[in-house]
Amino acid sequence: MRDLDVKTLRLFVAVCEHRTMARAAEQEHIEPSAISKRIAQLETDLGVELLMRGRRGVQPTPAGLALLDHARTVLFTMGRIADDAAAFSETGGIEGHVRLVATASAIAESLLDDIAAFMREPANRNIKVEQIRDLGEFLSLTPALSPWRVVIIDTLDDLEASGANALLKILEEPPPNTLFLLVSHAPGRLLPTIRSRCRRLDFQNLGDDAMTSVLEAYAPDLAPAERARIVTMSGGSAGRALAFAELGLAKLEDAALAILRQGDPTNARRSEMAQELGKKNAADRYAAFLDLAPCLIAREARKLDGVPRERALEAYSKARELAAIAPRLSLDPAATVFQIGGILAEVAEPASLKR
């Protein structure tokens, strides 16, 4: 088989997104006949039919959908390579650290929101060993505003292996009057030596009354029906509820529930959802969907019994894991949404029935 070239993959993705050769050709500044020839050669090389052609345009076949998933991932990775290389050319390969010193009033106003926005960027998520070593240097200083110091690591799951070992040395001989809050979404995966030096504190979901109070206070313009729906969607998380309220996710929830309850035998529903959330201007809605999907499965699982419930719980585990690693690994949003759509469909369509 010939090596697959990036140009052909880009053209194939464009055809799948526009559903016509003509529109794809217009976007890519190429003749439709040239696209048709390239895709025909790709089908020959792979030995499968990738597109179904009809009066209403073209649709990807099951093999085409599988290739579309991989093609988007490849194109996204190629884009990241170019961006990373450009970043090194601009900075000369220099990396550094920023230490913030702020007054209490700055912290109370907007600094924490600014830091949270910065840390949501994929490139800033890993906690490196140098940052843990800097923490040790910081803890050697004398406190200024209080005899106590609080260290929050959010999340410990983002800590590099060498950083975990450096943190362990600090925890073995903790400085006096210092409280460590180590946030983890998968504590079972942490080093046993770290877990043994910590007291576990589980935070429970907020009740509906508390959630309603939060939305009434911070999103007062919501209609009662919309507020009640967001409470149900949010799974007891106030932050998630406020994000959902801001983004207006009712339509997205309906689309995900349709897959969850009715399945998606033609892949049409998940393809439409992936196309919508894979757009460049849909980053916030994509992030919200990663939170929403596991919550919907968990909510549905509570209504089921027996084998269907086991199927839902397995789907919940897979969706939660994928939703957690997708931002850290900078996975292609469209491909990730398509994959989560498949997990949602498994609740309604047992894998054995798909074969």
> Would the pLDDT of 353 be above 50?
no
Instruction: Note the pLDDT tens digit of each residue in 83-111.
Output: 556 655 544 555 555 555 555 455 445 55
Q: What is the mean pLDDT of the chain?
A: 81
In this predicted structure, what is the pLDDT of residue 103?
Answer: 52
Pairing relation of β-strands 178-183 and 149-154? parallel
Q: How many CB atoms lie within 10 A of CB 321?
A: 14
Q: Which residues pair with 152 in a beta bridge?
A: 181
Instruction: Note the pLDDT tens digit of each residue in 202-255.
Output: 878 889 999 999 999 988 888 898 889 888 878 788 888 887 888 877 788 889
Lowest mean pLDDT among 6-10, 115-119, 165-169, 194-198: 115-119
Which tokens go with 239? 């932050």
The torsion angles phi and psi of 105, rounded to 5 degrees, stand at -65, -35
In sequence order, the 6+-apart residues with CB closer than 8 A to the CB of 194 are 156, 164, 167, 168, 171, 182
Which one-letter amino acid corresponds to residue 206? L
In this predicted structure, what is the pLDDT of residue 213?
Answer: 93
Q: What kind of fold does domain 6-91 have according to CATH?
A: Arc Repressor Mutant, subunit A (1.10.10)
> Would the pLDDT of 169 be above 60?
yes
3-class state of residue 33 by DSSP: helix
- For the 104-195 domain, the top CATH level (class) is alpha beta
Instruction: Note the pLDDT tens digit of each residue in 263-310.
Output: 998 889 999 999 889 888 888 889 889 988 998 898 888 888 888 888
Pairing relation of β-strands 51-54 and 57-60? antiparallel
* Percent with pLDDT over 70 in the chain: 84
Domain ranges of the chain: 6-91, 104-195, 249-354
**Is 116 or 149 the better-scoring residue by pLDDT?**
149
